[in-house]
Chains A and B, each alone.
Chain A
Amino acid sequence: MTPDGGPPRILTSRVDLAGSYTLKAFLETGGYEGLRKALSMKPDEVAQEVDEASLLGRGGAGFPAGRKWSMLRPADTTYLVVNGDESEPCTFKDHLLLETDPHQLVEGVAIAAYAIGVEQAFIFIRGEMALGLERVTQAVNEAYEYGALGRGILGSGFNLDVVVHPGAGAYICGEETGLLESLEGKRGFPRIKPPYFPAAIGLYGEPTVVNNVETLSNMSWIVRNGGAAFAALGKGRSTGTRLFALSGRVKRPGVYEVEMAKTTFRDLIYGQEFGGGISGGKELKAFIPGGASAPWFGADQVDMPLDQDEVGAAGTMLGSGSVVVMDETVCTVKVAWRITRFFWRESCGQCTPCREGGGWLEKILWRIENGAGREEDVDMLADICDNISPGLHWPPEQTTICPLGPSIPSPIASVMRMFEDEIRLHVKEGACPLA
């Protein structure tokens, strides 16, 4: 607990510390104590704590970390790969962890590798994050020097090598099999499933665990405090704390660590310690609850808790932990157009619905927004969306190699569901009514 009785800061305890990214600052604040403790336990016992914590993956899919680890196919060579690609629009929480607390991640990597018996890990970091790459590279250098990586870690018999690997600008490399292809020196083309999990066949065809930066940054705390303490926070399967990146029309955009399930979107957007309310005192119109791929919520859903299962039951997702706020003056057609443009630009091009459908949708939305929309465009949008994602369910039916394609309709279907009048008004007036 923090002094004021709030939930503990599991992930962001060092972000305000001067030089928080240095080994010195890390060691002065309990750094590598979690790893020391883990090494005094059996690997299975460490994995057991993580399982008990009910830690859900923080990369987007929300798969339980403990279960993923248990699926790793036994083999002579296995790998751990850290997903630090963070390119989902308006998601910026991993970048905070990489820049301000790289040793916390390195410690988490070492703990995870020990628990699953891996001796080689890769930390894949988005290429555009120059500072994050520098800080993590420095931390890895320092960790070798200190003995927290390499041979005989902290006097134990455990060995681990870690390589920091830069991306080069491609959102699709966040999809775990696209990431593995990229790490093999190829185009980031997602692999055809099955196998559904790299835990069976991953990097170089070997069993591989892929975990997100934030997921692994929790490890030291879980080992030091026990899985039960983590699971005591939050509710149901949504345990612990989680980082939410808040942006758009709020007074205080930023990354906030909150207790899962106990906090609502209203708290996050309006709470004085968080977003502080809508800028300019305007009314909330809609918000994106979990990254650009997620279907939107209207203002009437603002009291929904930040609970993975409740948000899922309401037809969307907490996804990548990014919340984007739109006020009453924002044109939702324009926002849907911009997200669609993103997907169209970032489609890897392997699947027709994604490659072609994304481009068609982008063009139609563009002409509606810019006053050249036609009567039939609304039906055409619905028809193309339904072709890409039949029935427009969430989670969507998988019509393509990876989930990017079926995510394209999310913003468009959201606008059609909540603001169809606004689209029609664009067409009728031959201009954006909110411009």
Chain B
Amino acid sequence: MPHLSSESLTRAREIVDLYPQRRSALIPLCHLAQEQDGWLRPEAIEEIAGLLDVTPAEVLGTASFYEMFKLEPAGRYVISVCTNVACMLAGAYDLLAHAEERLGVRAGGTTPDGRFTIEDVECVAHCDHAPCVQVNSRYFGPLDAGGFDRLVDSLERGELEGDVPPHGTLVRVRRTKGLMA
């Protein structure tokens, strides 16, 4: 039984076809696998290697370089708290401390119920909304402690399903138009 679903496989082949060389599809395919599973599973790495004619070690060697690929299960919502300069000057470290307290895990950790992961990240280019966070790469800010709590409440109640897809889903727009060939 292949690990990637037939839908994922179809999309994977479409992506590979976009590039002059197969290996260029490596990062997009890792995103695709993460969209299916929420993290990058070893079984997915094996199959991506097969699709690209490289070894699993080459896929892992590349994927492990990049922050966005999770090699262990991550929460349904990955909350990335920016602590870089603009956000720091606006109280980001207090916000991070509050986030850790509210969710009961330290940065880098995932809540036992698998719902939330908190990260301490570099600038996410939303500095005019400092201090800000991303949830699954979607922007929220500026946030104080109360704003953070309301955000978590909304996520818990499922009110933001439309804005924030589960972790791993990056681009909800599919490439519909083929290449010239």
A residues within 8 Å of B by Cβ? 77, 86-92, 94-95, 120, 126-131, 133-134, 137-138, 140-141, 144-145, 149-151, 159, 161, 163-171, 182-188, 204, 245-249, 253-255, 288, 292, 322, 324, 326, 330, 334-335, 338-339, 342, 345-346, 348
Contacts and interface: CB of A to CB of B under 8 A. Distances in A.
Interface stretch (B4-12, B21-29, B96-104, B153-161): B21-29
A249 B25 CA distance: 42
A149 B180 CA distance: 9
Nearest to A91: B125
Interface centre among A183, A255, A338 (most CB of B within 10 A): A338
A245 B66 CA distance: 26
A168 B85 contact: no
A335 B16 CA distance: 43
Contacts of A91: 123, 125
B68 A159 contact: no
B1 interface: no
B12 to A, nearest CB: 13
Contacts of A95: 125-126
Contact of A166 (B18, B31, B125, B128): B31
Given A141-B177, A150-B177, A185-B25, A168 B68 contact: yes
Nearest to A173: B66
Contacts of B28: 165-166
Interface in B161-181: 170-177, 179-180
B122 A159 contact: no
Interface string B59-96: 00111011111000000000010011110110000000
Given A137-B173, A168-B31, A187-B65, 14 more contacts: A89-B123, A90-B123, A94-B125, A129-B125, A130-B170, A134-B172, A168-B68, A184-B23, A184-B24, A185-B62, A247-B130, A253-B128, A342-B84, A348-B65
B125 A126 contact: yes
B146 interface: no
Interface centre among B23, B61, B134, B173 (most CB of A within 10 A): B173
3 smallest CB-CB distances across A and B, nearest first, come from: A169-B67, A185-B26, A144-B177
A127 B137 contact: yes
Contacts of B138: 130-131
Contacts of B125: 86-87, 91-92, 94-95, 126, 128-129
A254 B23 contact: no
A338 B85 contact: yes
B66 A169 contact: yes
A253 B134 CA distance: 19
Contacts of A185: 21, 23-27, 52, 54, 62
A83 to B, nearest CB: 14
A169 B36 CA distance: 19
B117 interface: no
B30 interface: yes
A338 B83 contact: yes
Given A166-B28, A184-B24, A248 B85 contact: yes
Interface centre among A120, A145, A186 (most CB of B within 10 A): A186
B136 interface: yes
Given A91-B125, A184-B24, A334-B88, A168 B67 contact: yes
A339 B180 contact: no
B127 interface: yes
Interface string B134-160: 101111000000000000000000000
Nearest to A170: B66
A116 to B, nearest CB: 18
B42 to A, nearest CB: 18
B168 to A, nearest CB: 11
B145 to A, nearest CB: 20
Contacts of B19: 163
B86 A346 contact: no
A361 B144 CA distance: 31
B84 A89 contact: yes
B20 interface: yes
A138 B89 contact: no
A164 B81 CA distance: 27
Given A86-B125, A247-B128, A338-B84, A141 B89 contact: no
B107 interface: no
Contacts of A342: 84, 122-123
A350 to B, nearest CB: 12
26 contacts: A90-B127, A91-B123, A92-B127, A95-B126, A126-B125, A127-B31, A127-B68, A127-B137, A128-B124, A130-B136, A130-B138, A131-B139, A134-B173, A137-B175, A141-B175, A150-B179, A168-B30, A168-B69, A169-B68, A184-B23, A185-B23, A185-B62, A186-B62, A248-B89, A249-B89, A335-B88
Contact of B89 (A165, A187, A326): A326
Contacts of A120: 20
B154 to A, nearest CB: 18
Nearest to B30: A168
